[in-house]
């Protein structure tokens, strides 16, 4: 039996909210069938809920038919209901179905807006064409508004968002998406490249910037200014995580190109810092950038790598007489591990200053929960 094999080998299972009556359209039907799927796959066959991927179905909202107007909103409501009832369940969508029937330019905008809304509702995976998804900060506000109006069926007597969307994109091709006007100076172009995750022509702009700036200054000001904007956009919900990673990869490529041209700070070392990505997390782009910047500013860095147990951090901090410990991680679960690590470090009797970094961290969580854990 396939369920037995899936459980035995740890495979994930995708299950759609379709029953004997047909495809679930209303949110309560999506939840009802999801509960049946959990009962069948998890309770009967022992599949962990985290390995069950429920697809609550995405239907096009571009037909104009009255019966289809609420389908996008209903799927979002269904996602929330399934997420609330089964917190460990994975939820997946064939996302681009939402815009079926529209022209490519309109589809790109509607898909991008719907992706953002679905993630906020609790979706954990999506089938998408990544090159046709755009971060929200690069979509004109009036386009986002019309797409949201269509999704939530905000019609009035004299306004139909479907007709407005059709008119807005009537003569536009997908390749004609609004693009940022190229900045005049290399420094401004580099900052834009970091924000947009644009690596084409990166080396030429770096070489031009080096004519007037030292490599380390380019990193510490221009490139990090770009990453600061990325962080602000991510925090405001205007940039989805894949685009944050794209920006980080561009930053990594820029630093790698500049590194051979850097002169390390001379004189007495400014201190020793132990860096590590926490247990269960393999993301290290940000940590490695911090390593390069600190090293080239005169610090001695002991980089322990990825998936590092807290015991290894404590041992390294003692052995290397570290002035600080830096813990990094990208995943949401890593923020919990950081707090647990702080408790363990405190129990070990260390009072070494600790730096925390990662996309999922918030200032309040660090300054309240994490500080209390290390108290």
Catalytic residue among 153, 160, 205, 281: 281
Q: Give me the mean pLDDT over the 144-163 stretch.
A: 95
Q: Which ranges in the chain are annotated with CATH 1.10.1240.10?
A: 186-261
Q: How high is the pLDDT of residue 174?
A: 55
pLDDT per residue as tens digits for the range 115-132: 999 999 999 999 998 888
Catalytic residue among 283, 284, 291, 328: 283
pLDDT per residue as tens digits for the range 16-61: 999 999 999 999 999 999 999 999 999 999 999 999 999 999 999 9
Q: Give me the mean pLDDT over the 347-366 stretch.
A: 91
Of 345, 347, 368, 366, the residue nearest 355 (C-alpha)? 366
Residue with tokens 């940590």, as numbered in its chain: 287
pLDDT per residue as tens digits for the range 296-338: 777 899 999 999 999 999 999 999 999 999 999 988 899 999 9
User: Considering the chain, what percentage of its residues have pLDDT values greater than 70?
Assistant: 95
Residue 213 carries which DSSP code?
Answer: S
Architecture category of domain 186-261 in CATH: Orthogonal Bundle (1.10)
Q: How high is the pLDDT of residue 328?
A: 95
Is 99 tagged catalytic? no
Q: How high is the pLDDT of residue 365?
A: 93
pLDDT higher than 60, residue 368:
yes
What is the rounded distance in angstroms from the CA atom of residue 203 to the CA atom of residue 185? 14
- Calculate ∠ Cα 213-218-220, nearest 5°: 130
Contact between 36 and 19 (Cβ < 8 Å): yes
Sheet containing 13-16: give its strands across: 13-16, 52-55, 90-94, 125-127
Residue 95 carries which DSSP code?
Answer: G
Is 334 tagged catalytic? yes
Catalytic residue among 96, 99, 112, 334: 334
Superfamily designation of domain 2-176:
Dihydropteroate synthase-like (3.20.20.20)
- The length of the chain is 375
Task: State the chain's mean pLDDT as an integer.
Answer: 90
Q: Which ranges in the chain are annotated with CATH 3.20.20.20?
A: 2-176
Contact between 113 and 147 (Cβ < 8 Å): yes
Of 68, 178, 54, 55, the residue nearest 112 (C-alpha)? 178
Architecture category of domain 272-373 in CATH: 3-Layer(aba) Sandwich (3.40)
Contact between 101 and 62 (Cβ < 8 Å): yes
Q: How high is the pLDDT of residue 148?
A: 97
Q: How high is the pLDDT of residue 159?
A: 95
Is 283 tagged catalytic? yes
Q: Read off the tokens for 299.
A: 């610090």
What is the rounded distance in angstroms from the CA atom of residue 102 to the CA atom of residue 70? 17
Read off the pTM.
0.65
DSSP character string of 31-76: HHHHHHHHIIIIIIT---GGGEEEE-----S-S--GGGTTHHHHHH
Q: How far is CA 54 from the centre of its chain?
A: 21
Q: Which ranges in the chain are annotated with CATH 3.40.50.280?
A: 272-373
């Amino acid at each position: 039996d396939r369920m037995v094999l899936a459980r035995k080998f740890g495979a994930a299972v995708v299950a759609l909210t379709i029953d004997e009556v047909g495809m679930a359209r209303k949110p309560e039907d999506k939840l009802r069938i999801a509960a049946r799927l959990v009962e069948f796959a998890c309770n009967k066959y022992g599949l962990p809920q985290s390995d069950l991927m429920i697809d609550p179905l995405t239907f096009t909202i571009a037909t104009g038919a009255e019966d289809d107007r609420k389908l996008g909103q209903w799927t979002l409501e269904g996602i929330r209901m399934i997420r609330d009832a089964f917190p460990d369940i994975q939820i997946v969508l064939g996302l681009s179905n939402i815009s079926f029937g529209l022209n490519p330019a309109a589809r790109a905008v509607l898909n991008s807006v719907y992706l953002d809304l679905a993630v906020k509702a609790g979706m954990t995976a999506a089938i998408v064409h990544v090159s046709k998804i755009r971060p929200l900060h690069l979509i004109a506000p009036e386009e986002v508004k019309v797409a949201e109006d269509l999704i939530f069926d905000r019609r009035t007597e004299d306004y139909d968002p479907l007709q407005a969307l059709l008119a807005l994109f009537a003569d536009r091709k997908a390749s004609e998406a609004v693009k940022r006007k190229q900045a005049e100076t290399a420094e401004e172009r580099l900052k834009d490249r970091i924000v947009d995750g644009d690596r084409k022509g990166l080396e030429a702009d770096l070489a031009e910037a080096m004519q007037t700036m030292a490599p380390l200054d380019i990193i510490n000001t221009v490139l990090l200014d770009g990453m600061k904007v990325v962080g602000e956009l991510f925090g405001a919900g205007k940039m989805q995580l894949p685009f944050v990673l794209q920006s980080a990869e561009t930053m990594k490529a820029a630093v790698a190109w500049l590194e051979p041209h850097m002169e390390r700070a001379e004189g007495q070392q400014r201190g020793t810092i132990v860096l590590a990505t926490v247990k269960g997390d393999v993301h290290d782009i940000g940590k490695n950038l911090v390593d390069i910047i600190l090293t080239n500013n005169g610090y001695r860095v002991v980089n322990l790598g990825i998936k590092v147990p807290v015991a290894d951090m404590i041992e390294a901090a003692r052995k290397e007489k570290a002035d600080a410990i830096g813990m990094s991680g990208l995943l949401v679960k890593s923020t919990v591990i950081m707090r647990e690590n702080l408790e363990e470090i405190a129990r070990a009797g260390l009072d070494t200053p600790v730096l925390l970094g990662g996309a999922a961290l918030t200032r309040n969580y660090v300054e309240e929960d994490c500080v209390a854990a290390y108290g």
